[in-house]
Copies of this chain bind each other. A is one copy, B any other.
């Protein structure tokens, strides 16, 4: 990151730190969201990071944007920041204009069907759809994938959530018009799945950063049997395990970001996503075990992060998806894995 971008990250983290109280995150459970935080970001044009200046954006690259996603995970910010910016990023990627109103995105394994320029069908678990004006998603026509935009006025929306109470709505379209129909090459389609996965990985790493931080802090403050619990070997073991998973997750993310920036991604996003699957499980388990009973109460904020990890790990292109992709690649590869791992 350049110095200027470091600054943006600093501004955003300060906003999140100050404005995203526990109560702000809990808003989701009452059907509200972090509108105020979102407005602050918009006022600061943060939602335009990684949009080219020619498109009215603030400039910046994948690194800047994914770092902000990590912060969204780290503070469990209840706003559609990732979805909106990713939608616009994807539009840019296919040389299309970003949308002005609030957008969401849904790149998943089951695309809509496109017939004569109209779409009919359903999308399940669409993030933040109830608040968005447009959706960027996929459609197939005669076996070919297109990137499309639909105005959500054309959708019937049934509200639902994920495990962390984040909006994940079910949409139904009947002969809906599309605002864009961009035919995707297979390579482009694959890249979109990678981009979506990298975004999710970024959020997950942020949530891990925080679950680890909370646990460290708790282990210093909490006393049992007359001393702070971090003095017990079994608690130290949990802390060491957490430190390991946090470091592995963080370096996995840094690595895929560097590769994305250079346009050199091969299997690494799949690897990172699989690593985050494991890390999420291990971190949630150890963080809760150290916090003991206090950590499973609604009053404590740990669950903001562990519930998100449990939710995110089963959304969009999850571990099972990537394991199958990798298995298929291995099956047809004439290289050894060592050759593949060390070739860039």
Residues on A facing B (Cβ under 8 Å): 232-234, 237
Contacts and interface: CB of A to CB of B under 8 A. Distances in A.
Contacts of A233: 232-234
A237 B238 CA distance: 13
A118 to B, nearest CB: 43
A235 to B, nearest CB: 9
- State the number of copies, please: 2
Nearest to A233: B233
A237 B241 CA distance: 15
A interface SS class: helix
Contacts of A234: 233-234, 237
The 4 lowest CB-CB distance pairs between A and B, nearest first, are: A233-B233, A233-B234, A232-B233, A234-B237
A101 to B, nearest CB: 51
A232 B232 CA distance: 9
A233 B232 CA distance: 8
A107 B232 CA distance: 51
Contacts of A237: 234, 237
A232 B236 CA distance: 12
Nearest to A235: B233
6 contacts: A232-B233, A233-B233, A233-B234, A234-B234, A234-B237, A237-B237
A232 B234 CA distance: 9
A293 to B, nearest CB: 20
Contacts of A232: 233
A172 B74 CA distance: 66
Nearest to A237: B234
A215 B136 CA distance: 61
A289 to B, nearest CB: 13
A15 to B, nearest CB: 42
A342 to B, nearest CB: 30
A292 to B, nearest CB: 16
A297 to B, nearest CB: 26
A318 B233 CA distance: 37
A273 B232 CA distance: 37
Nearest to A234: B233
A210 to B, nearest CB: 27
A234 to B, nearest CB: 5
